[in-house]
């Protein structure tokens, strides 16, 4: 196995904390005692295809990418940020709630994104059939927000952290009408199968960051309370949700 590792991080996270992930990379490199190369990428699909193309050893991936890397390449989940889960918030214009009109115009990311899958499950729990919806595809959550504010959409799917990060000026024009509580989807650290022999070491480094002053400072900058170990089958809980969404599509 190469003594130089390549690290990939979900573009959603590097967009918010690029400098902090470079600090994380330097910390990991020091603790592993080998070179770790990290280059931020700003596109979900390109990042996913690059990892699937081979050559990456450690990834911090969104749930759908992590599941794909495990299925296609045998990547091994090792750890996640404690208490952080990917949930979807159903958002409407302030005071509007869920309109009676049909079809409902729902602003969403492309079908490949987990947000759309979680959003469909949330609509189902609200007894809103997808046949009663017209889905307006957008390639960013900010475009979803703008569609809602401009009145081009009745409802929109936003990840919970995107909803929390909204500027007051935007949030004041919107309201959350429902939120998922699956607690099955999360970003996680995974390692390539050729790194399996170093799994205990990598897992120990990640979960021990909170007990080390330098590591704790990096976690705080990334807005992680702590990193906790997960089992290799931790992503299996996503399978029913993904299968159901694709079956009903």
Across residues 210-217, what is the average pLDDT?
96
Across residues 47-70, what is the average pLDDT?
94
Question: What are the structure tokens assigned to 160, written together?
Answer: 């919970």
Q: Is the pLDDT of residue 249 over 50?
A: no
Mean pLDDT of all residues in the chain?
A: 91
The domain defined by 4-84+184-236 folds into D-Maltodextrin-Binding Protein; domain 2 (3.40.190)
Return the ∠ at Cα 12 (arms to 6 and 16), rounded to 5°: 100
Domain range annotation of the chain: 4-84+184-236, 88-179
Question: What are the structure tokens assigned to 184, written together?
Answer: 């099955």
Cα 177 from Cα 155, distance rounded (Å): 9
C-beta of residue 51 within 8 angstroms of C-beta of residue 65: yes
Please tell me the predicted confidence (pLDDT) of residue 16: 84
Question: What are the structure tokens assigned to 113, written together?
Answer: 């994104």
Task: Tell me which residue of 185, 221, 239, 206 sits closest to 79, measured CA to CA.
Answer: 206
Confidence category of residue 1, pLDDT binned at 50, 70, 90:
very low
C-beta of residue 189 within 8 angstroms of C-beta of residue 76: no
Tens-place pLDDT, residues 135-159: 999 877 889 999 999 999 999 999 9
- 110 contacts: CB under 8 Å, gap ≥ 6: 116, 137, 139
Across residues 62-79, what is the average pLDDT?
94
pTM over 0.75: yes
Which one of 3.40.50.720, 3.40.190.10, 3.40.50.300, 3.40.50.20 gives the CATH number of domain 88-179? 3.40.190.10
Across residues 90-108, what is the average pLDDT?
94
Query: Is 4-84+184-236's fold the same as 88-179's?
Result: yes
Please tell me the predicted confidence (pLDDT) of residue 111: 53
């Amino acid at each position: 196995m190469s003594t130089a590792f390549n690290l990939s991080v979900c573009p959603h996270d590097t967009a918010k904390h690029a400098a902090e992930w470079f600090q994380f990379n330097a910390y990991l490199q020091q603790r592993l005692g080998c070179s770790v190369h990290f280059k931020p990428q700003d596109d979900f699909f390109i990042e996913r295809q690059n990892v699937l193309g081979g050559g990456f050893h450690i990834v911090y991936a969104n749930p759908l990418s992590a599941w794909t890397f495990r299925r296609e390449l045998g990547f091994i989940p090792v750890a996640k940020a404690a208490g952080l889960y990917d949930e979807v918030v159903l958002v409407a214009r302030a005071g509007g709630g869920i309109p009676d009109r049909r079809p409902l115009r729902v602003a969403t990311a492309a079908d490949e994104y987990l947000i759309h899958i979680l959003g469909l499950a949330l609509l189902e729990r609200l007894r809103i059939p997808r046949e009663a919806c017209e889905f307006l595809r957008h390639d960013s959550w900010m475009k979803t927000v703008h569609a809602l504010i401009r009145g081009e959409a009745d409802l929109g799917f936003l990840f919970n952290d995107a909803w929390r990060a909204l500027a007051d000026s935007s949030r004041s024009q919107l309201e959350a009408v429902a939120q998922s509580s699956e607690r099955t989807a999360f970003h996680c650290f995974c390692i390539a199968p050729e790194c399996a022999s170093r799994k205990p070491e990598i897992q120990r480094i990640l979960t021990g960051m909170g007990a080390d002053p330098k590591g704790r400072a990096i976690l705080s900058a990334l807005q992680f309370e702590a990193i906790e170990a997960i089992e290799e089958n931790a992503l299996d809980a996503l399978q029913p949700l993904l299968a159901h969404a694709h079956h009903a599509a």
